[in-house]
Structure 1
Amino acid sequence: MSPSVFLPYLDTAADDELVRALGRIGPILVPAAIAANAQLLPHTPYIVLADPSHPPHIDQVIQWLDFGATKVVVPLSLAKELIGIISPQKLMILLDISSAGAVSDTVQSGVSGVLLRTSTIDIELVTSLQRFFLGTELFVHATSDHPKLPSIRQLRRSNAVVVIPSSQLTLSSTSSTQLNVGDAFFAPLVSDRPDGLIPTIVAAHNQGGRSLGLVYSSQESIRESIVTGRGVYQSRKRGLWRKGETSGAMQTVVSIHVDCDLDSLEYGVLQEGSGFCHLGTPTCFGPLSGIAALEHTLCSRRESAPPGSYTRRLFDDPTLLRSKILEEADELCQAETKEEISFEAADLFYFALVRCVADGVTILDIERSLDRKARKVTRRPGHAKPEVVSSIMAGVKATKSTPPGLRRASTSALEQKIQMRSFDLTSISPASRANLLRRPVLKSDEMIAKVRPIVDEVRTRGDAALIDFTAKFDKATLSSTVIRPPFSPESMALKPEVKDAIDVAYRNVHKFHAAQADKTLLRVETMPGVVCSRFARPIARVGLYVPGGTAVLPSTALMLGIPAQVAGCKEIVLATPPRADGSISPEVMYVAQLVGASAILKAGGAQAVAAMAYGTDTVPKVDKIFGPGNQWVTAAKMLVQNDTDALVSIDMPAGPSEVLVVADSTANPAFVAADLLSQAEHGPDSQVVLVAINLSDSHLSAIEDQIDEQARALPRVAIVRESVAKSIIVKASSVQEALDFSNDYAPEHLILHLEDAPAAVDLVQNAGSVFVGAFSPESCGDYASGTNHTLPTNGFARQFSGVNTQSFQKHITSQEATQEGLKELGPIVVTLAECEGLQAHANAVSVRLREQ
């Protein structure tokens, strides 16, 4: 049923104030003669009443709808022509009593409403017609009668809407010839309260209808709101409450709707000031969320974002903002899973909304534009521009062997050289140098909000949630989620060459990590009779996350499992996504057997992290979680480590893969290019930096040529093209200047292509792992040299080490004081404890000293 209480009809030229007031309570019926001037009502829904004596042409009806009319009322004869052309939701028929019986079932199903013209209002007649027009809105226009409040009440409560000419409506008091708009609106409302007040939901019209709070309305407050367009309500204690009168948090009323039972209202408002709630918050139901919260944040940051912040850069740099919108739109088009699509769409919404806020365009403006477009009947074919189509088709043809999701569309982009951007440290400003050190902004808060529901589901529903999420995300149907040893030989069946390679890698990594284990007892006598000690103990239960699914990553299982094994962890839970048939890749199964895994969890993503953090009926709870993963895994790790109920820690924060290569004149261009590309292929957000020490233009060109040539031969060239385009060449004048820049950048991988590379290691202060010399490619460390490939990214090499054996150990201290030792140390402790006002601490020493 229509949210209108009555339908006002502009039968004469009404003053603007009355028209605005009528627009707040629903659509307005306008005659065809003034429909062309409907632009005077840009935000008011209106219905066009065709002149039955001069029926319009079909094109005219379509034009009215294209111009913004929500519906058109046409004679029965024209309706029969329009059915099938015009949507039923946009079409009503005009009838008089004599023609009511001529309406066929076909016509009834092809329209959404009937406007009945009658000389007087006959409730019994209306009731009988409603049975005939079952499911169709019925509007009644009494041409020779002035509607009275009782008839409005009777008609509306019987689900019919009375049409009232604007000449019979007023914003002044009700008289014998005119009804006050507010009185007419209030007439059919019902209340079950002794005071007769109507519960009223106040909703933010510019925030997708978000509820701001619950108030009450009276006939008097409704009347004033309709007339003034301000939020006026009825306080149950203080009478009329004009919102914002004292606080300044004014409201502009956009719409007032009645619910289906006529016993509650919804005010759609534009809220000004600090917010709706008396506590100064936007709503009485908690903070804003989603797009409304984003718009609020961006509007505030448009005015106050600090210089140098990313949001300020977007507002101040139209080229950067345009580039990000195009980039995110492309990534959305390539996303495949539900999670990827929602994530990329969120990014696109963010940058698009920055563009809008920068020019004062609100979400409300966007919604109004959508509504106008939805009302149109005539639409463009919707074809893409020819130049866009041709470039996409050319891109698809050129990359049809590339896996879906990795393809790029532009022919010109495919023809362009794959190359990095160049900067010179000797000529750039300190601010520009600082910009070169920045990583992309990691939206950790957004991702944590996305993974929280997954983590909560696993925490509360345990194994059942794991099975559901595995079916949803990994498309694998499981009956159980955990595999315990001994593992079956068929689950570890490998080609001999693969098994041999894993065995060699295991021995190398085990040898290096065994040497790292802290097995010594540190014992120091700090003063006579006082001995302090420190000793290492393994973390009892550890969880190892190994990315998987369609990928096979035995190297990660080795890098995490071996130090856990060497450290002596009692329980090693290895989590990895299952394949579609529910099995785990035999390579990972074999490594799990080598490192002595006590359980294999067949799950990936945030759900695997949650299961290990909290434990389930079958998944053991762990004390620390290790391992790389996508942004969902990283966010889940960050979430659970901050939950005191989980009591779990993680290895380190994670970000996109990184490499920084330092090269001098002795560097082989092919080697340098290969090292840069080995990280660039990880993903489009990989960070790749070349620091060139006094390289000639020809030497740099040779490196760039090798990058382009080698990249084009890679199956992941689409990814490489994107990551390399964001990567940089930094020109330095000396090894010292190059390593100073590297230390400030703190790369995950640092590769030294230098004449005396070993000597340069002394200058390294911040790096995850260093690869020394031309024959030490980063790939060796990733797989089998012996070092660990789980390393700090995003500049965290300043504070964190890569995963190592001691990552799986904790250190405990002890102290032992003899009686003589306490006699010397005790008075010092008492003095310090009393200085801090901690008398019990002092007493614990004093009571012993008194016994001596």
Structure 2
Amino acid sequence: MSAFLPLLDQNGDALFDALNRLGPIIVHAHQSSFLPTPDHTIYLVDQQAPVTSAQVADWLDAGVEKVIIPLSSAMTVINTVPAERLILLLDVGSVSAVSDKIRNGVSGVVLKTPTVDIDLISSVSSFFSNSSIYVLPDPPVPPSIHTVREISRAGATLIIPSSDLTSQPTSTTQINIADAFLSIVTSDRKDSLFPTVVSNQSGQALGLVYSSVESVRESIVSGKGVYQSRKHGLWRKGETSGATQDIISIRLDCDSDCLEYRVVQHGAGFCHLNRLSCFGPASGLTALENTLKSRLESAPEGSYTKRLFEDPELLRSKIMEEADELCSATSPEEVAFEAADLIYFALTKCVAAGVSIADIERSLDRKAKKTSRRPGNAKPQWSKQAPTGPKISTPAPIPADGPIRLRTSDLATVTTEERVQLLRRPVLKSDEMINKVKPIVDQVRQGGDKALLELTARFDKVRLASTVTFPPFTPEMMQIDEEVRKAIDVAYANIRKFHEAQVDGSALVVETMPGVVCSRFARPIARVGLYVPGGTAILPSTALMLGIPAQVAGCTEIVLATPPRPDGSISPEVMYVAKLVGASAILKAGGAQAVAAMAYGTETVPKVDKIFGPGNQWVTAAKMLVQNDTDALVSIDMPAGPSEVLVIADHTANPAFVAADLLSQAEHGIDSQVVLVAVNPTADHLASIEQEIDQQARALERVDIVRQSISKSIIVKVSGVEEAIAFSNDYAPEHLILHLENARDRVPLIQNAGSVFVGPYTPESCGDYASGTNHTLPTNGYARQFSGVNTLSYQKHITSQEITASGLGGLGPIVATLADCEGLQAHANAVRIRLSAPQ
């Protein structure tokens, strides 16, 4: 919204800065050379001078907001330049000569008229219904506040030559700039002040103040932040505190009842509490910029950020590294995580060069104004020969010829904030994923089997006739290699033996006081759902880990869900395990739809009481969603996410063993998390581990997956075992492997981990398959509060109490007193009525 639009003429130089603070300025194209920059100007083309589309494009590319072209040049320029960048210059008598093509090819009209005729202006405004209307009196007439208001009410804006404007009080021949600007502003306040939002260069709100005609007038002319205090009168910001402001722009809102001052804030900040904003501390990019500026001035010696400022080659390397990792990211959470890293290092480069976020935004704005576009091809060193065939939008792969290696950090040099970043997993926020899976869950809940079949066809690319397979399972479904069968049988025996030892079979009985006996006893959860992922690997081991404790606990109904293969069948290895553990149904579905089917039940899928099993983020989000829905009445084991391992290795660690352990987890998927905590490593020892990682990874069939997961993983160097374990406890890994001297002695120090693998001959693979412990473990740091799946996970505990008459005699008065204290009369009465009954 603008009250008027200035046209620079012979009086332009003196008023240029003041007018520039109020928005765009019209400049005659042939007289624009005196301007320091064409930004925020509108070029007016002489009616007698023909103009080409190339000239217009050059002006727009240089930063001009818009170009006003005469009707005679319209057909030449229209459709070659975006309509929103063109304004048509039109004599009042030529309105009828405008074609629909011209009318649709511009975003505004400058109407040259010998008189200010409001009815005529309204008529033209209706004809050009989608365009802004500007009125240019010709010959000029002395402007007045009344004229500006009337033209504004007609839906147009008055163009005022700068010779008719002044910074002095309004006279019969000139109008004060502030008077013209405020002529259409309305105030509903008794004191006639205007609410004013003050924001910084990037648009972050600093505070709410009030302005008066006098304060606006001074701000426009002086270029300083001047407001109206409701108690103390004219308030020149920073006059006593030193926190002054330079005005960038003053704008009206769409209703012309509020102002916005965009400023460069100096000193401690805008707020009287000596902070940037009255609305609290800065966040996001503004907060990062402030932190980096502070570090540039006073970063402590040895800090990582100071190293970046003092070592341009290190900073360059980090920018290149993070750019490559961003290009390699695939999932939304990975892209966000890697983009944040890249922005951090890029902004460090900017701050070191004295470039602000506002400078970057101005550069973006200038580039957005360009109408001529380059082809946009990458430079030769960054481009590869494009493949033939249709163009497919895919994430940029990690270079296949580069070394497969982890990123390295040293806890001795990282800041507190950087240590926190090392502990983070790049995953989506739960609420975002839950919003994505909710439509799928609702579709299954409402549509049952039909919806489940449709979703399986959409996501698993398989059209099925039925969703569930019930026992008995035919031999044809379980045809597996004999060696595989023997291995599964041994794993089954070991896992069952360990989980049978966990059964809570005896009741806990305690007499808390004479005649008062309390007990607790376990009962199996009747109906359980086991989710066995499909995806990039067949996982009969997960079927074992979930099915055996359900079987041992005595669950009466075991529903096993797993995605079907392309032919609609279930892998025979999983089917064989399903028979071993006594599965009562096999649900041929994966993802959120399988979770929903087990949570709510369908025509054929039995409803369960608790859902177990790992999965991708869609599965995890669906589990979290249904457990909070009272219509489902279902619980879950834990919010499990991508697989992860943390290895602590000291000087005794075999590099080949360490590398193999890291890679065994990295091959699960590109989002797997792999961390090596190296205790006081020598350069040679660390290099040997990295060499083993690269060599072993290249020999794997799943090398492409490993290459991506390893590139996002980290090596953390620490000075001692205690520091390593402290970092691990903070990280709370799913799998923790101890390649340490006297590793067994360190186990008591472990506070947070899903499962611990002690010593050089205890690979995590054994726990994954057959040692006996369960491999369904908490990830994403949830090992701080969750246990891995175990037999007790499939049992619930019920308490009971039995009180004799004499026991109630001792306990009853205590209960009645507490009930009276809480005001629960009926509770007390239930005791007293028994105490008063004849024995």
TM-score w.r.t. length of structure 2: 0.72
Contact 1:672 1:703 in 2 (8 A): yes
Shift of 1:68: 1.6
Shift of 1:717: 2.6
Matched, 1:596 2:586: no
Structure 1 distance, partners of 2:429, 2:366, is 34
Contact 1:21 1:229 in 2 (8 A): no
Matched, 1:294 2:284: yes
Change (3 A) 1:250 1:56: same
Q: Work out the number of aligned pairs and report it.
A: 804
Give the alignment partner of residue 137 of structure 2, picking from 142, 145, 151.
142
Change (3 A) 1:619 1:468: closer
Amino acid of the structure 1 residue aligned with 2:477 = A
Structure 2 distance, partners of 1:762, 1:123, is 87
Aligned match of 2:157: 161
Amino acid of the structure 2 residue aligned with 1:382 = G
Matched, 1:453 2:451: no
Change (3 A) 1:617 1:98: same
Shift of 1:372: 1.2
Structure 1 distance, partners of 2:598, 2:418, is 39
The aligned runs of 1:425-444 (5 Å cut-off) are 439-442=422-425
Aligned match of 1:68: 63
Aligned match of 1:628: 614
Amino acid of the structure 1 residue aligned with 2:164 = Q
Matched, 1:563 2:549: yes
The aligned runs of 1:535-546 (5 Å cut-off) are 535-540=521-526, 542-546=528-532
Aligned match of 2:112: 117
Aligned match of 1:28: 25
Contact 1:422 1:731 in 2 (8 A): no
Change (3 A) 1:407 1:216: same
Structure 2 distance, partners of 1:635, 1:68, is 47
Change (3 A) 1:521 1:330: same
Change (3 A) 1:211 1:532: same
3-state SS in 2 of match to 1:786: coil
Shift of 1:657: 0.9
The aligned runs of 1:373-522 (5 Å cut-off) are 373-390=367-384, 407-409=397-399, 414-416=401-403, 418=405, 439-442=422-425, 447-454=429-436, 463=445, 475=459, 483=467, 486=470, 493-497=477-481, 500=485, 504=489, 505-522=491-508
Aligned match of 1:371: 365
Change (3 A) 1:149 1:586: farther
Structure 1 distance, partners of 2:186, 2:93, is 34
Structure 1 distance, partners of 2:605, 2:129, is 58
Structure 1 distance, partners of 2:474, 2:226, is 73
Aligned match of 2:343: 352
Matched, 1:49 2:44: yes
3-state SS in 2 of match to 1:177: coil
Contact 1:94 1:116 in 2 (8 A): yes
Contact 1:448 1:639 in 2 (8 A): no
Structure 1 distance, partners of 2:176, 2:723, is 81
Contact 2:627 2:634 in 1 (8 A): yes
The CA deviation string for residues 59-83 of structure 1, in whole angstroms up to 9 with x for no partner, is 6544432332111224455555444
Amino acid of the structure 1 residue aligned with 2:459 = K
The CA deviation string for residues 736-769 of structure 1, in whole angstroms up to 9 with x for no partner, is 9999998898754455779999x77977856544
Gaps of 5+ in 1: 398-402
Shift of 1:5: 3.8
Amino acid of the structure 2 residue aligned with 1:778 = E
Structure 2 distance, partners of 1:116, 1:520, is 94
The CA deviation string for residues 531-586 of structure 1, in whole angstroms up to 9 with x for no partner, is 55443233455554443356543432332233233223456565556778998767
3-state SS in 2 of match to 1:707: helix
The CA deviation string for residues 274-294 of structure 1, in whole angstroms up to 9 with x for no partner, is 99999x99899xx99xxx952
TM-score w.r.t. length of structure 1: 0.71
Structure 2 distance, partners of 1:574, 1:636, is 16
Structure 2 distance, partners of 1:528, 1:537, is 28
3-state SS in 1 of match to 2:383: helix
Contact 1:74 1:94 in 2 (8 A): yes
Aligned match of 1:400: none
Contact 2:462 2:564 in 1 (8 A): no
The CA deviation string for residues 497-551 of structure 1, in whole angstroms up to 9 with x for no partner, is 3983795254543343233212123345677766554432334555544433565
Change (3 A) 1:10 1:684: same
3-state SS in 2 of match to 1:714: coil
Contact 2:642 2:672 in 1 (8 A): no
Contact 2:304 2:415 in 1 (8 A): no
The CA deviation string for residues 671-720 of structure 1, in whole angstroms up to 9 with x for no partner, is 554333212323465224376999996x8877655433221122333443
Structure 1 distance, partners of 2:510, 2:516, is 8
Shift of 1:29: 0.6
The CA deviation string for residues 450-490 of structure 1, in whole angstroms up to 9 with x for no partner, is 23534666787773599599859963699999955636969
Mean Cα deviation higher: 623-632 or 461-470: 461-470
Structure 2 distance, partners of 1:366, 1:559, is 54
Structure 1 distance, partners of 2:709, 2:272, is 47
Amino acid of the structure 2 residue aligned with 1:47 = I
3-state SS in 2 of match to 1:516: coil
Matched, 1:10 2:27: no
Change (3 A) 1:385 1:837: same
3-state SS in 2 of match to 1:164: strand
Change (3 A) 1:709 1:721: same
The aligned runs of 1:787-826 (5 Å cut-off) are 787-793=773-779, 800-814=786-800
Shift of 1:722: 5.3
Aligned match of 2:662: 676
Change (3 A) 1:644 1:364: farther
Contact 2:734 2:778 in 1 (8 A): yes
The percentage of aligned residue pairs carrying the same residue is: 44
Contact 1:521 1:534 in 2 (8 A): yes
The CA deviation string for residues 417-464 of structure 1, in whole angstroms up to 9 with x for no partner, is 7578699xxxx96999999999531367x6134235346667877735
Structure 2 distance, partners of 1:647, 1:316, is 52
Change (3 A) 1:86 1:837: closer
Structure 2 distance, partners of 1:560, 1:720, is 26
Change (3 A) 1:321 1:173: same
Structure 1 distance, partners of 2:90, 2:419, is 73
Shift of 1:658: 0.2
Matched, 1:782 2:777: no
Structure 2 distance, partners of 1:585, 1:364, is 57
Q: CA RMSD in A?
A: 6.4
The CA deviation string for residues 77-98 of structure 1, in whole angstroms up to 9 with x for no partner, is 5555444543333233444457
Contact 1:552 1:585 in 2 (8 A): yes
Give the alignment partner of residue 697 of structure 2, picking from 708, 711, 719.
711
Shift of 1:136: 4.8
Contact 1:673 1:706 in 2 (8 A): yes
